[in-house]
Amino acid sequence: MKIAAVETLRLARGITVHAGPVQWLWVRIHAENGLYGTGETYPHPESEEAVVLSRLAPRLIGQDPGRIEGLWASMFDAVSYSGWAGAELRAIAAVDMALWDLLGKTLNVPVYQLLGGATRDRIRTYNTCYDHISFLDEPERLAESLLEQGIGAMKIWPFDPVANETGGQWITPALLRRGLEPLRRIRARFGDEMQVAMEFHGYWNLRCAIEIARACEEYSPMWLEEMLPQDNIAAYRELASNTKLPLTISERLMTTWQHRELMASQAARVVMPDIAWCGGITEARKIANQAATHMLPVAPHNCGGPFLHAATLHLAASVPNLYIAESVRRHYAGDYQGITAPFARPSNGFFPLPPGPGLGVDLLPQVLARPDMTRRKV
């Protein structure tokens, strides 16, 4: 069987996250027999679409779609000489995800089966709080609403408004207290019942990051995520040696090669690849294996669209060294509605194994008919 066509699909209307509006790019890899697989990346679909159609499609059409490793290498070769760590790798990630989906559909098995099978019967999750309830204004009500659904771990970013005021270059004791307030209030009300991950979106310099990390220590957050920009692993090593708390790094690192440096530094206590950014399922699985050899767990980043959500659950079902999988209640309970069939909700903080075949998810017919849909095919 051969790849007959490569198609991109995107909506003009996206969703809003902390960094602003985000749109998803979907890629369909069509086989000669009429089957197709779908992958996804984000957040700049026009750029990613251009790479898929102009640079990657010529390496794909006419090839056997089941040769995923070989096609990954060929796609990487098509973009690597000019520098790959951007839309190029995100485009590869989307195609790679589509190839795994297609292979699963072809063999009529879920993707996690192709990855070696499930290593667990259910997948522990935490909620990233892009929620209708504000973690700044009503942290107790938000935590309570999650606990009512059995979700005992949540991620918040209360220092982001402070970084917006100071550029992440300075902080005062009063600003430290303000940033800590939601974490303090959740701890005061719920004790150890709710685990809280603190997210920083890479906004801080090293000095401020050390001060914030030390101030967080008395409230025992689950982890400190991406306190610094991702480009200086030595600075992260310095931060790690200045706090008792575990660091989680980083959804913005791509490929096994960038993760090699991270793991050699021993700065991270949790490794967080994003399948749609790091190079796809193929690369994320290698990163998880690489982490395992460093005695580290992974907590895959899952803050994109419905196909990333599905792919993350398949990876999380399979890799032995899963710490916890990210999910966003607002996404699976709201933003994905009308785009894909509904996803299973977590029960007592755990997702069931995801369905197949492939990723077990597809775009609904009404999405394809939306007036803001753009489809291109080569």
Longest dimension (CA), the chain: 64
Output 61 or 85, the one with its CB closest to Mg ion: 85
Distance of closest approach, residue 157 Cβ to Mg ion, in angstroms: 8
Q: Which of residues 53-112 bind Mg ion (CB under 5 A)?
A: none
What is the CB neighbour count within 10 angstroms for residue 320?
12
Single out the segment in contact with Mg ion by CB under 5 A; choices: 17-25, 145-153, 223-231, 315-323: 223-231
Output 31 or 198, the one with its CB closest to Mg ion: 198
Size of the site for Mg ion (CB under 5 A): 3
Q: Is 354 exposed, middle or buried (0-12, 13-18, 19+ CB in 10 A)?
A: buried
Output 131 or 225, the one with its CB closest to Mg ion: 225
Distance of closest approach, residue 99 Cβ to Mg ion, in angstroms: 26
Distance CA 37, CA 28 (A): 5
Distance CA 181, CA 174 (A): 11
Single out the segment in contact with Mg ion by CB under 5 A; choices: 54-62, 214-222, 245-253, 316-324: 245-253
Distance of closest approach, residue 302 Cβ to Mg ion, in angstroms: 10
Distance CA 200, CA 226 (A): 6
Single out the segment in contact with Mg ion by CB under 5 A; choices: 12-20, 141-149, 226-234, 365-373: 226-234
If DSSP codes are grouped into helix, strand and coil, which group holds residue 145?
helix
Output 226 or 283, the one with its CB closest to Mg ion: 226
Single out the segment in contact with Mg ion by CB under 5 A; choices: 61-69, 78-86, 116-124, 247-255: 247-255
Output 112 or 203, the one with its CB closest to Mg ion: 203
Whose CA is closest to 312, among 321, 320, 303, 203? 303
The tokens of 111 are what? 């993707």
Distance of closest approach, residue 298 Cβ to Mg ion, in angstroms: 14
Distance of closest approach, residue 326 Cβ to Mg ion, in angstroms: 8
Distance of closest approach, residue 355 Cβ to Mg ion, in angstroms: 27
- Whole-angstrom CA distances from 53 to 49, 209, 375 are 6, 41, 11
Output 225 or 362, the one with its CB closest to Mg ion: 225
C-beta of residue 124 within 8 angstroms of C-beta of residue 350: yes
Contacts of 250 (CB under 8 A, 6+ apart): 202, 225, 226, 230, 262, 268, 272
Output 101 or 225, the one with its CB closest to Mg ion: 225
Single out the segment in contact with Mg ion by CB under 5 A; choices: 65-73, 124-132, 251-259, 335-343: 251-259
Distance CA 236, CA 240 (A): 6
Distance of closest approach, residue 299 Cβ to Mg ion, in angstroms: 10
Under the rule (CB under 5 A), what is the footprint of Mg ion?
225-226, 251
